[in-house]
Amino acid sequence: MSVESVLFDILWDEFVLWSAFVAAITFGWLYHHSFWYRSDEDGELPNRDGIRVGFFPKHNDDIRLEVTWTVLPFLLIVYLTYISWAPLDATWTSTENGNHNAECDYDNPGYDGSNNRIADMETGIIESDCYHIIEITGQQWSWIFDCRDLGPDLCETDFTTAEVYGTVPRLMLKEGETYLAVMESNDVTHAPWFLELATKEDVLPGQQTALWLPITEGGDSIILCAEYCGDAHSVMAGILSVHK
């Protein structure tokens, strides 16, 4: 799998586990009944519930069972909601004293980078000392990355070529640093999908959106456009290149 987000992996594994559990119960039940209760083609068909044309048949219900399979799935849902809740902090953490603290103060003598780390192995939530701000602008049909005031050590942009996509912009970020992308569109809606970071957010014309990019692992990965934007939507790609 190309996704390297611990947060995503943890949730995914948990959900797959419960999916398998629910599927096993349902399908086990289904297959058992399909064979066990199949009719004997030659025999007389029983009619326990008084099925007869023009007659509403006898009720066939059991309130305890029905309540059971209302309550049990509900409890499972509550649990799944609970485990999906905590990672919201990572998705939309505040820019002031949130998981990523505040914007880096480069003049501060104590400044030594974002130093992000996985704070909690249970949830995969990442925390940082501070973050850097970069700008992403979408337009038909290319990405424009802007490092603002960041030096080439922290952020750099250029162009590179990729198979299928042709010439694409490249965003070079540093491992261990956390970035906040401030995004806007020049024309229609776009959405950068950072494949390896397992995240995306729409880029809208006329209003700003923001996206957290905590860079924890090195290597190159693709950035795609995930919100349909016209003719060349599918080749509106970019490369995220992470250096040490």
Partner 1 sequence: MSRAALAILVVLAAMLAAPSATSVPSGVENVSQSGCGCHSGDNPNPSVTPSIEGLPETYNYSQTYELTVSFTGGPSDSSNINQGGFNLWVSDGELTVSDGTAQVNALDGSVTHTEAGNDQTSWVVIWTAPTTDRNVEFILHTNSVNGNAGGSEGSSGDMWNRLTVEVSAPVEVQEPVNPFVVLSVLIIVTAVLLAITLAYVFYRVSPDSFDWDTFAPWIAEWLTSTDHKRVGTLYFVQGLFFLVVGGIMALMIRIQLSVPGNDFLTQEQYNQFFTLHGTVMIFLAAMPLIAGFANWIVPLQIGAPDLALPRLNAMSFWLQPVSAILILTGIFSGGGADTGWTGYAPYVVSETAHVGTTMWIAGQIMLVASSTLTGINFLTTIAVMRAPGMGWMQMPLFTWSIFVANLMLFLSIPAWGVGLIQVYLDRVIGTAFYDVAAGGDPLLWSHLFWYFGHPEVYVVIVPAFGVISEVIATSSRRSVFGYRSMVYAMAGIGLVSFIVYGHHMFTSGMDPTLRFITMLTTMLVAVPTGIKIFNWLKTMHGGTLVYRTHTLWALGFLVTFTLGGISGMYFPSIAMDVHLHESYFVIAHFHYVLVGGTLFGFFAAIYYWFPKMSGRMMSEKLGTLHFLVAFVSYNAAFWPMHRLGVWGMARRHHTYFVTTDEALGALPMEAAGWNMFITVSAFIFAASTLILVVNMINTVIRGEDAPPDPWGGWSFEWMVASPPPTPSFSEIPTLMDANEHIANEPGAIARWFSRLMVAEEDIEEAMH
Residues 56-95 within binding reach of partner 1 (CB under 8 A) = 56-62, 65-66, 69-70, 73-74, 77, 80-81, 83-84, 87-88, 90-92
Site for partner 1 in 163-222 (CB under 8 A): 163-165, 167, 184, 186-189, 191, 193, 195-196, 198-202, 204-209, 219-222
Chain residues 142-161 in contact with partner 1, contact rule CB under 8 A? 142, 159
Q: Shortest approach of partner 1 to residue 172 CB, angstroms?
A: 14
24-63 mask for partner 1 (x: CB under 8 A)? --xx-xx--xx--xxxx----xxxxxxxxxxxxxxxxxx-
The number of residues that bind partner 1 (CB under 8 A) is 104
90/82 Cα distance (integer angstroms): 15
Q: In the complex with partner 1, which residue's Cβ is closer, 111 or 159?
A: 159
Q: Is 49 helix (H, G, I), strand (E, B) or coil?
A: coil
Q: Which is it for the CA torsion 116, 117, 119, 123, positive or negative?
A: positive
User: Rounded to whole angstroms, how far apart are CA atoms 214 and 132?
Assistant: 10
Integer Cα distance of 211 and 181 in angstroms:
5
15 binds partner 1 (CB under 8 A): yes
Beta carbons within 10 angstroms of residue 112's beta carbon: 10
Q: Does the footprint of partner 1 cover residue 119 (CB under 8 A)? A: no
Question: Among residues 132 and 190, whose Cβ is nearest to partner 1?
Answer: 190
Say how many C-beta atoms besides its own lie within 10 A of residue 94's C-beta.
Answer: 11
* CA torsion through residues 138, 140, 143, 148, sign: negative
